[in-house]
Structure 1
Amino acid sequence: MNVKELVLYEDNHLLALNKPAGVLVQGDATGDVSLFQLAKAYLKEKYHKPGNVYLGLVHRLDRVTSGVVVLARTSKAASRLSKALREGQVEKFYLAVVHGTPPKRGRAEDFLRWDARKRKAYVSSSGKPATLEWLVLKSSSSQSLLLVKPLTGRKHQIRAQLAARGHPIVGDFKYGSRKKIAGGRGILLHAWHLYLPHPTKKETIFLEAPVPGHWPGIFSPPPGEFASKKFAFGKNLD
């Protein structure tokens, strides 16, 4: 995998990559090479670093999910980004292709419980609060493209909450889909847009990860399409 081709943004403080579906963000028991390891090797080679390369992991994506991943190149950047995430200063927008046709717009408020043995999230009164909003962007006879904005950061949140409403993400067998993804790995969930405060500059930066090439053509928006829809969250669409 050529990490250079995945770079969305890079400066002395940040490295943002477009993670392919099927690639781990961080190493696990499988021993598979992770995006984190590849990114460290990329920086070490590019900048001819003789020793260890610092890289901070401030957020994650599921292995089966594609899209924007931001890594911190300094400990100061890692600390400030982690604080921004905790304080809700980072806005994330996902694209998801789901089975069926949900309401034109919706808000899901649940409690999610994480089962570590099954590695799956369940809607449960004993869980932690989880909230997301969605807008339907396109629909076919059997599937819909959603723009999803999570307002909390629970494991498998988007996958579990949409599935609980009868609209599992296409390709997500763990949560009820029965359709394989043609020509690709993972599921049709993509971390598309991200806004975050730069850790040293007094500005907000915008990151966009192009949709993977194996997505169905009808659900592959060109750059910028639907972007204005993001500002409809919290407002009346009718």
Structure 2
Amino acid sequence: MIELLYADDVMVVVSKPADLLSVPGIGEEKKDCLVSRLQVEFPTIRIVHRLDYATSGLLVLALNRGSHRALSIQFQERIPKKRYQALVAGQISGEGGEINLPLGPDWERRPRMLVDHQQGKPSLTHWECIDKQDNASRMLLYPHTGRSHQLRVHMLAIGHPILGDVFYTEEAEHSRHERMMLHADQLGLEHPVSGQWMEFASPCPF
């Protein structure tokens, strides 16, 4: 179910469930998505940024051309503050750090991405570990850049893939989880008209 956290005349903030596209995919079977469902109540709604199909959590969407432009510029200039919570495989060493590895398409296995030191785009993630279990770690992830699959590939690259990830873990591993353990739990941004700083939170469901 889509949770509506905020709505006014120019924008809405929602929490997307896992296993739902942000925008329509190719083909009749992929028309159902966050935007199509929200269009029932908000006919003029426009996507500003996306979450992966398997990722749940906070998204802001615009309700007119002006707010769409203003919000899009914020994301281009990396003004919004985004935080994700994740469960990853294994006990990570240390309490925090950063992952600075360039990412590019894995052309032979699209839509997967990979670390590409020759042609990849700069990609930076900061992380904190808030809990360590027997065979997993609970992480707070802060993407400075917004590359496709950035958090998923960065965690894989340091040897701690996100649990339940069907792209970056073996089937025997991800089949043990009912979803990918990645949730966008905090989002801060400037209101596209007033400029007021706004912060939203969505409790982690796992």
SS of residue paired to 1:42: coil
Name the CA distance, whole Å, in 2 between partners of 1:84 and 1:210.
Answer: 24
Q: Deviations over 1:31-76 (max 9, x none)?
A: 3301100001122xxxxxxxxx211111000000000011101111
Which structure 2 residues correspond to residues 89-128 of structure 1 after superposition, within 5 A? Answer: 89-102=79-92, 103-115=94-106, 117-125=109-117, 126-128=119-121
Residue segments in structure 2 that go unaligned for 5+ positions in a row: none
Name the CA distance, whole Å, in 2 between partners of 1:179 and 1:25.
Answer: 22
Which structure 2 residues correspond to residues 1-238 of structure 1 after superposition, within 5 A? Answer: 1=1, 3=2, 6-30=3-27, 31-32=29-30, 33-43=32-42, 53-102=43-92, 103-115=94-106, 117-125=109-117, 126-176=119-169, 178-180=173-175, 182=177, 184=178, 186-212=179-205, 215=206
User: How far apart are 1:181 and its partner, in Å?
Assistant: 5.3
Name the CA distance, whole Å, in 2 between partners of 1:131 and 1:179.
Answer: 25
TM-score normalised to the size of structure 1?
0.80
Name the CA distance, whole Å, in 1 between partners of 2:17 and 2:166.
Answer: 18
Q: Determine if contact 1:25/1:61 at 8 Å carries over to the other structure.
A: yes
State the identity %.
32
Name the CA distance, whole Å, in 2 between partners of 1:34 and 1:174.
Answer: 20
Name the CA distance, whole Å, in 2 between partners of 1:25 and 1:13.
Answer: 19
Q: Whose radius of gyration is greater, 1 or 2?
A: 1
Q: Determine if contact 1:170/1:180 at 8 Å carries over to the other structure.
A: no
TM-score normalised to the size of structure 2?
0.92
Name the CA distance, whole Å, in 2 between partners of 1:202 and 1:80.
Answer: 10
User: How far apart are 1:173 and its partner, in Å?
Assistant: 2.9
Name the CA distance, whole Å, in 2 between partners of 1:163 and 1:77.
Answer: 36
SS of residue paired to 2:40: helix
Name the CA distance, whole Å, in 2 between partners of 1:210 and 1:9.
Answer: 15
User: How far apart are 1:180 and its partner, in Å?
Assistant: 3.2
Equivalent residues, number: 199
Residue 118 of structure 1 aligns with an amino acid whose one-letter code is: R
Name the CA distance, whole Å, in 2 between partners of 1:63 and 1:69.
Answer: 13
User: How far apart are 1:114 and its partner, in Å?
Assistant: 1.4
Name the CA distance, whole Å, in 2 between partners of 1:170 and 1:202.
Answer: 37
Q: Determine if contact 1:14/1:71 at 8 Å carries over to the other structure.
A: yes
SS of residue paired to 2:24: coil
User: How far apart are 1:179 and its partner, in Å?
Assistant: 3.6
Residue 115 of structure 1 aligns with an amino acid whose one-letter code is: D
Stretches of 4+ moved more than 3 A in 1? 179-182
RMSD: 1.4
User: How far apart are 1:115 and its partner, in Å?
Assistant: 2.8
